[in-house]
Chain A
Amino acid sequence: MSVFPKGDFYTRHFQPSGKEETLVVNMGPQHPSTHGVLRIIVELDGEYILRCEPVLGYVHRMHEKMGENRSWVQYWPNTGRVDYLHALAWNWAYAGAVEKLAGIEVPERAEYIRVITCELNRVSSHLLWWGAYLLDLGAFTPIMYAFDDREEIMDMLQMPTGSRLTYCYYRFGGVSADLSDEFLKRLSRFIPYLRSRLPMYRDLVTENVILRKRVEDVGHIDEDMCRRYGCTGPVVRGAGVAYDVRKAEPYSVYDRFDFRIPTYPEADAFARYMVRMDEIEESLKIIEQAIATIPDGPYLSKSAPKPKWSAPKGEACFAVEGARGKITYYVASDGGRTPYRVKLRSPSYCNLSCFAEAAKGVILADAVSILGSLDLVIPEIDR
């Protein structure tokens, strides 16, 4: 049945399966639970999803082409705008790739600063995800609590970075500003505070029977599926695979900290939920250790490139663990003023690509639950 027979390009290509009494609906681009402008064409049989297809590109900004026509240093602000929730991880991936390409040394203090700020950013990203996911499931209140705690993190990150959301803080060979004592003091007050909040979240939300019924045994994404689709981050850890770039390809000073990779073998939405909740605690643990052992020294390398710098020729790849999964920058240089090629591997993009398979045959409300459990940031998908 179709109320409006004419559709656009994608709807026309999304042929109904020929079954009687199915309904092709557009979920998005303006839909409350797609968190931005993601569009999913769904063929429904009653409440059940026969098949679906995500349509991307509504916030496509062509970061890769932009990389090719601005200089290495000019490209910095772009990196903070790919994933606005964990901007520092993208900052770091770009910094890492170019540092690898040009062989720039990063002072030890800068590495610690990067770890502290990136992990703090990860906590804020997970908190927002938590609130937004519960909003998808129909609970309004958690997002307010999450924003309350996140606000504190944003205030803190504002001190060294100067911005609240789309950070552009890292530089080749360090960071742009040192951490103040006030920041460190405030941060060490904040960690016990957030730790005391987490049990409350667990009691109020995680243990709630309605939530459990909504997320348990929903959206089965197992290891094999993760491999075929290239899913990383909490999605693959929720499938029981302890894959975390911080441990798998240790970068920076992560090998000096003692932290655990939370994994849950259930491979459902609840496993992914629990992975993220545990990761908040692990991140706090890392931050705590980093604050305790942060060395003195310069925060920016003396050999840090000047604005008119150009990288030597060659190619380099650098991956970091973002809040959503493995972020990889591939940069190729011909020695010119601008990168020859910048390739962004965004985790949300790969995680979303498995949605069509994961959502096949589930009820519409579960599709929303699965979509939320993948933790999508649309600008990161569209780049």
Chain B
Amino acid sequence: MNISNWTAPDPFVTTPDMLIRLVVGLLALAAFVGANATILVYVERKVAGFIQRRPGPFEVGPQGILQTIADAAKLIGKQLVTPRGSDGFLFWLAPIVGFLPVFVMFLPIPWGESTYVVQSDVGVLLILAFAGFGVLSLCLAGWASASKWGLIGAARAVAQSVGYEIPLLLAVLAVCFSHGSMDLMAIVKEQGGWPWQWNVATQPLAFFIYFVCALAETNRAPFDLPEAESELTAGFHTEYSGMGFGLFFLAEYANMIVVCSMATALFLGGFQGPAAPGPWWFLLKVYGLLLVMMWMRWTYPRVRFDQLLNLNWKWLLPLATLNLLATAVALKL
């Protein structure tokens, strides 16, 4: 990474056509995220149904494909209740704070050779920086809803997110070290089409750490402690109704796509494939990872909070540090 990049002007809005690209890209991303979240919810329920030997949704539309639309309509139609004693402004700010940064996180993701919104030298950093907003939103939601369950959920969310961001960062850094770049496009391009040319082959430990941390960062089972419904009723979103809850829900699925996209770009060769590289390979890999996440969610029990933190501070963090050191030493040699 060239240090002069840091002093370079803002990579986003420099020229009018860049601005147009950004606006169009954001609109396209909004559509993509919305559509994908809808599809993902449907896929998740079908996968859950498959795992649990039941049909899943099948009443609304053929094979139930309109179920999520119906659910979304129901959520939008519901009354928004602001609980007594809560901080109304922060209470409704929280879901928005949780949802909006997700779009920005999609910006530097290289879907294909030429399918991307912005190409930034600090793409990885951008995503990680905006990922930090997620925990702020959970914290706000838990605090502002004046519910004790929400508060406990928020406390858990903060401890968990802050903890797991560190090994995640270290795992990502190991990849960035070996490529000498924080540009996702450059990292993808340096990997080949075949699985043994991907970074997962050279950095398996980093991939493992990244994936575990990604599960924790997106609050997915078995690390869904901030919303552990059997312990905290619903954790930070206990008090949310209608689209307030809907936005959290949407953000969760959008975050899942982000972390899986990043994993694909960093470790699985991005849009490269054995034949005909292109966005389809990217989406295929992303959906593959998403299916693994769903599979885990419907298979595993939830870990306990102290076990979660122990896993992070006692195992993942030292391992990630060692991995980073080993990478640095190997590069030096």
Contact = CB atoms under 8 A, between A and B. Distances in A.
Interaction A to B: yes
Interface of A: 3-4, 23, 25, 31-33, 44, 46-47, 134-141, 144-145, 148, 204, 208, 210-211, 213-214, 363-366, 368
Nearest to A3: B146
B233 A214 contact: no
A204 B52 CA distance: 13
A245 B302 CA distance: 35
Contacts of B222: 138, 210
Contacts of B106: none
A178 B64 CA distance: 44
B152 A365 contact: no
B71 interface: no
B304 A144 contact: no
B152 A141 contact: no
B306 interface: yes
A144 B301 contact: no
Interface of B: 48, 51-54, 85, 146-149, 151-152, 155-156, 221-222, 224, 228-233, 297-307
B231 A364 contact: yes
B301 A365 contact: no
Nearest to B306: A363
A363 B301 contact: no
A366 B304 contact: yes
B221 A144 contact: no
Given A137-B301, A144-B53, A366-B304, A47 B230 contact: no
B221 to A, nearest CB: 6
10 contacts: A3-B148, A32-B229, A44-B152, A135-B230, A138-B224, A144-B53, A210-B300, A214-B302, A366-B304, A368-B230
A76 B149 CA distance: 42
A220 to B, nearest CB: 16
Contacts of A136: 230
A313 B159 CA distance: 66
Nearest to B54: A144
A208 to B, nearest CB: 7
A208 B222 CA distance: 12
A374 to B, nearest CB: 15
5 closest residue pairs by CB, A with B: A138-B302, A144-B52, A139-B301, A137-B301, A33-B230
B83 to A, nearest CB: 10
B129 to A, nearest CB: 29
A363 B156 CA distance: 13
Contacts of A145: 52-53
